[in-house]
Structure 1
Amino acid sequence: MKQKITKVHPKDNVMVALTDLQTGEEVTYQGDTYKPLEFIPAKHKFAINDLPEGTDIIMYGVLVGRTQSHIPAGGLLTITNIKHAASGFVTGTNHLDWEGPDTTKWENATFNGFHRSNGDVGTANYWLVIPMVFCENRNIEVLQEALIKPLGYGRKKTYEIKAQQLINKIRTGSGIEEVLYTEIGSDTAQAGQDKLFPNVDGIKFLTHTGGCGGTRQDSTALCGLLAGYITHSNVAGATVLSLGCQNAEVKTLQEEIAKRAPDFNKPLYILDQQKVGLETDLMELAIRQTLAGLIQANEVTRKPAPLNKLVIGLECGGSDGFSGISANPAIGYTSDLLVSLGGSVILSEFPELCGVEQNLIDRCIDKSKAERFSSLVRAYSARAEEVGSGFYMNPSPGNIKDGLITDAIKSAGAAKKGGTSPVTDVLDYPEKVTKPGLNLLCTPGNDVESTTAEVGSGANVVLFTTGLGTPTGNPITPVIKIATNTKLFSRMSDIMDINTGTIVEGDETIEQAGERILDYIVKVASGEIEVSAVRHGQNDFIPWKRGVSL
């Protein structure tokens, strides 16, 4: 019989239900028997022993809450009987005696990527068209309409086909009932004409709401983020549209590009609308230059590269009570494998590291890294408190419904994505990853803002775990969607790529799942697998304005 409950860490005083538990149902774990006093939904927690009011709740071996009222043994933990609590943290002695996992299987492994002149290797090959300011968004959209389908990147979507069938019914006299309830064809999406540039995966048009009207700091950060995308290993070159008078100045963008790539030599075309004059002249010039750049981009082809050229972003969204038990520790093991192979991983979402700061501080390779992490976390937390929205308000209604009832419970599980390796660098948004190993990047917990930032810092693959289902993707980097449970994977199979519900069901260990995920990454990085987010054109891009975003 498969296990019905689990204890995540030996120090824990709560048990996690792996399936719905009925009132009075006897369940066992490692020889001990427990009897729930009430219905315990799957993913939720119950008390192992009597927990008087004011008792610390320990899960994942750390403080994750405190009882607000007495909870008897077998009682369900809820938002009414416990509240958020987390341990403090100080910079101190670092513990770096880490022994990585066995990587013999991958020592000579390679992926087929796009090699750049600076030594970076991309997992894709895109051309970017981006605005310096929101005033240019319309021109970006006009360019997209002019270029996508003629170049063969357009795709007639399934829903366009279905809508056309219903429209045709209306044209021939069908009424409301027939439109609502009659069957329509099940045509699948149809690709456009053959791509003119077969070695270019696509042109990505990134619009945003920044560049002017906000703080100068936000404009500078935006320039840094855009520079991160332009210099990214998955990007062959870019066309940039500037109005000419915005806060996000072209010279700032150029300075940020030089920081990240001192010997930058990709094709880059920057057009200033106020200097060019007529919109028709601007558009014609942008089209000419973009096509010239695409000719150059098409000259690059995939070639073998070692796995240490991978930079993996670690992200979670729509988390549930299984996230910290299955998917997150699984990609944590994948992270450790990649670090052992000399690659880089990025752990971000600082509001979701609440309560595990000390563990990460102790893993920093030197005191300066520990102090920077501590400083960034404290500053972020203080800003949140100033507007009355501390980290304790981070869990979403969906998180709470599925068992993540305090921020510390959510955070302790989220931090599992970072594995166990030493922290080699601590970055502030939108700095670039320059060192192998585990990098901590200051971002919000917001799925799209954080994913956007990780890619801007260099992630050429993103691992995204979800327990509730979220479609987040990225314009230039494949986002691999990993389900924490089999029900979700089956129910939303069109947007999921990997299932780790096998861990919950006892069919696979965390280590086995982590190895399976690394094998999958290699195929994605080589262009052998098109992930769901890419297939659906899920091009989410939201720059972070340095206000409070949890």
Structure 2
Amino acid sequence: MSDLIATQTPHLTLRVHALDNVRVALTDLPAGTVVEDQGSQVTLPGPVRHKHKFVLGDMAVGDLVVMYGVTVGKVTQPIAAGGALTTENLVHSTDDLSANSQQTAWQPPAVTAFETTTFDGYHRPDGRVGTANVWLVVPLVFCENRNVEVLRQCVADALGDDPFQDYKRMARQLLHGESAAASAIPSAERLFPNVDGVRFLVHQLGCGGTDGDAEALCQLLAGYICHPNVAGATVLSLGCQKAQITMLQNAIAERDPAGYKTVSYFEQQRSESEEVLIRDALTAIFDGLKQANQVTRQPAPLSELTLGVECGGSDGFSGLSANPLVGAVVDRLVALGGSGILSEFPELCGVEHELLARCSDPNVAERFSSLMTAYQRHAHAVGADFSMNPSPGNVRDGLITDAMKSAGAAKKGGDSPVVDVLDYTEPMTRKGLNLLCTPGNDVESTTGLVGSGANLVLFTTGLGTPTGNPVAPVLKIASNSELASRMSDVIDFDAGPIIRGETDIATLADELLTMCIDTASGRYVTKAVRLSQLDFIPWKRGVSL
């Protein structure tokens, strides 16, 4: 990234941007440590923990703290040069939306090595290409969650494809001994080798809310059913709920006017019995799998990839390693004609003026400004504010204010122009970098990214999270190597070498893009898929920071 400078001292500290008045401790620093910064020396009056920030000069009450070249907080207590930033001496503060951005014309990264590269994807009749091939089972209302679970267990048993078979064997061994564990039925040969699985969604919506809640749910479900990674769907309805079958059908028709997707609907209140409902739904699922299995992976240009970018369990290194690394991958993909989607509006607070400067035309800028303002106004109406976003884990790891967290989180979007701004559940229609209005909640936001068309998700984390998605593969990128090693069963890629100065972002971005291509081609299976971590939480349009 152009604004990240790699100046480090022997004590491993980093100034992120030339305009910053703080540095980041990359390792624990004891009191008395002398740090060199642009020809000057700063002596730390007290210890500074790794990932935390310390000021480069004396700071008075009311002074603004700058990191990533933008305001990230206001001083509430005097801080001596070298003093650490804490929740006691700093509060959230950002630049005004009218602040002048130093944004310059975008210089696309070199992508010569990838210009002729393809991935092996599933070509759909509407021209889009999927990175996976799944059959979807969807409830229109929470009343059908139990029947969806019955279908899940029945399908897993019939296909010999129980993802938790090893854990069940473990439980039998613990309770009954080794002989019981050995009696487990082995997995059957895959009956549908060209299908990546049947995905079963459950949720707590569909009734009891407003008409707008029901409409939003149907729009989201339509986004999943019409997703290029989905071959078709089986939908279960109770019958009397607000989210009616016709509502979902209309939402699907908006996205799939030619009717390419195969969708079967079953309404329990019109069925003879539960047994008939389950039998008919199972028949539709197995017929759908036979149909889906006829599609095979074929080469596709990288322009058909859409990366949804997300962060969760962020730490003080996320904005220094994993997030700018993902941003560099997005820039490479956009330069190749592909797309990226940056979400989590509460975590763009403080960098709005920079994103506005990157909008491709005034209409796009106005859409972003109006959606951000509406979100903030709604939060204020219920006594909330974006400044409440950092979690206790974020604060412990040095993300003291929302603006500090946001400035690092926005790095996931790279530097390319913003071509469109989408409201929640709206489908992406313009190639390039899109902004999507979602909450800061990890899974709610990831759910929205995929619903708007992301066929691959890059998820950065500094503290660790197992998050996945039922439809799109989710690659987890660790901000530090300690996490990558400790949670190796959930982490796919380690950005830690950037922190240690062992490599640069450009080199690692090429490696991560290669992993994206392998994942999109089915050659690499993400840790989330291996663990059957298939999270789906719709955003019930309230305040979720």
In the TM superposition, 1:508-547 aligns within 5 A as: 508-547=503-542
Worse-superposed segment, 264-273 or 408-417: 264-273
AA partner of residue 110 (structure 1): T
SS across alignment from 1:308: helix
CA distance in 2, matches of 1:130, 1:91: 46
CA distance in 2, matches of 1:116, 1:352: 34
* Residue 294 of structure 1 pairs with residue 289 of structure 2: yes
AA partner of residue 538 (structure 1): Q
SS across alignment from 2:284: helix
CA distance in 2, matches of 1:340, 1:450: 25
The match for 1:338 among 333, 340, 343 is 333
Following TM superposition, by how much is the alpha carbon of 1:2 offset from its aligned partner in structure 2, in angstroms? Answer: 5.5
SS across alignment from 1:155: coil
The match for 2:152 among 140, 144, 154 is 144
What is aligned with 2:188?
193
The match for 2:250 among 252, 255, 260 is 255
Q: What's the CA shift string for 1:52-83, capped at 9, x where partnerless?
A: 11100100000100000110101011000011
CA distance in 1, matches of 2:114, 2:178: 58
SS across alignment from 1:465: strand
Following TM superposition, by how much is the alpha carbon of 1:170 offset from its aligned partner in structure 2, in angstroms? Answer: 11
Residues 32 and 94 (structure 1), Cα distance of their counterparts in 2 relative to 1, 3 Å cut: closer
AA partner of residue 189 (structure 2): D
What is aligned with 2:106?
98
Q: What's the CA shift string for 1:483-539, capped at 9, x where partnerless?
A: 000111111111100000100000111111211110110001010111100000001
Following TM superposition, by how much is the alpha carbon of 1:96 offset from its aligned partner in structure 2, in angstroms? Answer: 7.2
What is aligned with 1:177?
none
Following TM superposition, by how much is the alpha carbon of 1:161 offset from its aligned partner in structure 2, in angstroms? Answer: 2.5
Following TM superposition, by how much is the alpha carbon of 1:289 offset from its aligned partner in structure 2, in angstroms? Answer: 1.4
AA partner of residue 460 (structure 2): T
Coordinate RMSD, CA, aligned:
1.9
Contact 1:2 1:506 in 2 (8 A): no
What is aligned with 1:5?
13
Q: Report the TM-score when normalising by structure 1.
A: 0.94
Contact 1:96 1:365 in 2 (8 A): no
CA distance in 2, matches of 1:366, 1:95: 14
CA distance in 1, matches of 2:160, 2:173: 24
* Residue 424 of structure 1 pairs with residue 419 of structure 2: yes
Worse-superposed segment, 124-133 or 510-519: 510-519
SS across alignment from 1:112: strand
SS across alignment from 1:541: coil
SS across alignment from 1:193: coil
AA partner of residue 267 (structure 1): T
Contact 1:429 1:443 in 2 (8 A): yes
SS across alignment from 2:403: helix
CA distance in 1, matches of 2:239, 2:63: 60
Q: What's the CA shift string for 1:371-417, capped at 9, x where partnerless?
A: 11111111111111121220000000000000001000000000000
* Residue 320 of structure 1 pairs with residue 315 of structure 2: yes
AA partner of residue 123 (structure 1): T
What is aligned with 1:245?
240
Residues 92 and 63 (structure 1), Cα distance of their counterparts in 2 relative to 1, 3 Å cut: closer
CA distance in 2, matches of 1:278, 1:169: 40
What is aligned with 1:208?
203
CA distance in 2, matches of 1:393, 1:155: 38
Q: What's the CA shift string for 1:349-387, capped at 9, x where partnerless?
A: 000000000101111111111111111111111111121
What is aligned with 1:265?
260
Structure 2: gaps of 5 or more residues: 1-8
The match for 2:134 among 102, 126, 129 is 126
Following TM superposition, by how much is the alpha carbon of 1:208 offset from its aligned partner in structure 2, in angstroms? Answer: 0.5
Q: Report the count of equivalent residues.
A: 536
Contact 1:94 1:363 in 2 (8 A): no
In the TM superposition, 1:206-245 aligns within 5 A as: 206-245=201-240
Residues 250 and 2 (structure 1), Cα distance of their counterparts in 2 relative to 1, 3 Å cut: farther
AA partner of residue 141 (structure 2): V
What is aligned with 1:60?
68
Contact 1:134 1:211 in 2 (8 A): yes
The match for 1:488 among 483, 486, 493 is 483
The match for 2:303 among 304, 308, 331 is 308
AA partner of residue 486 (structure 2): R
* Residue 401 of structure 1 pairs with residue 396 of structure 2: yes
CA distance in 2, matches of 1:141, 1:162: 22
Q: Report the TM-score when normalising by structure 2.
A: 0.95
AA partner of residue 231 (structure 2): A
SS across alignment from 1:213: coil
CA distance in 2, matches of 1:286, 1:123: 26
What is aligned with 1:165?
173
CA distance in 2, matches of 1:522, 1:171: 43
Following TM superposition, by how much is the alpha carbon of 1:460 offset from its aligned partner in structure 2, in angstroms? Answer: 0.7
Following TM superposition, by how much is the alpha carbon of 1:92 offset from its aligned partner in structure 2, in angstroms? Answer: 9.3
CA distance in 1, matches of 2:527, 2:178: 33
CA distance in 2, matches of 1:158, 1:48: 54
AA partner of residue 216 (structure 2): A
Worse-superposed segment, 271-280 or 441-450: 271-280
Contact 2:11 2:29 in 1 (8 A): no
Q: What's the CA shift string for 1:413-457, capped at 9, x where partnerless?
A: 000000000000000000011111100000000000000000011
Contact 1:212 1:247 in 2 (8 A): yes
AA partner of residue 266 (structure 2): L
CA distance in 2, matches of 1:96, 1:52: 33
CA distance in 2, matches of 1:64, 1:304: 45
Contact 2:340 2:432 in 1 (8 A): yes
AA partner of residue 296 (structure 2): T
Residues 23 and 91 (structure 1), Cα distance of their counterparts in 2 relative to 1, 3 Å cut: closer
Q: What's the CA shift string for 1:296-346, capped at 9, x where partnerless?
A: 000000010000000100000000000110000001010000001111100
SS across alignment from 1:334: helix
The match for 1:281 among 276, 284, 288 is 276
CA distance in 1, matches of 2:402, 2:120: 40
Residues 38 and 190 (structure 1), Cα distance of their counterparts in 2 relative to 1, 3 Å cut: farther
SS across alignment from 2:158: coil
CA distance in 1, matches of 2:104, 2:165: 51
Identical positions, percent: 55
Residues 287 and 17 (structure 1), Cα distance of their counterparts in 2 relative to 1, 3 Å cut: same
Following TM superposition, by how much is the alpha carbon of 1:163 offset from its aligned partner in structure 2, in angstroms? Answer: 2.1
The match for 2:406 among 411, 420, 423 is 411
What is aligned with 1:107?
115
What is aligned with 1:41?
49
Structure 1: gaps of 5 or more residues: 173-184
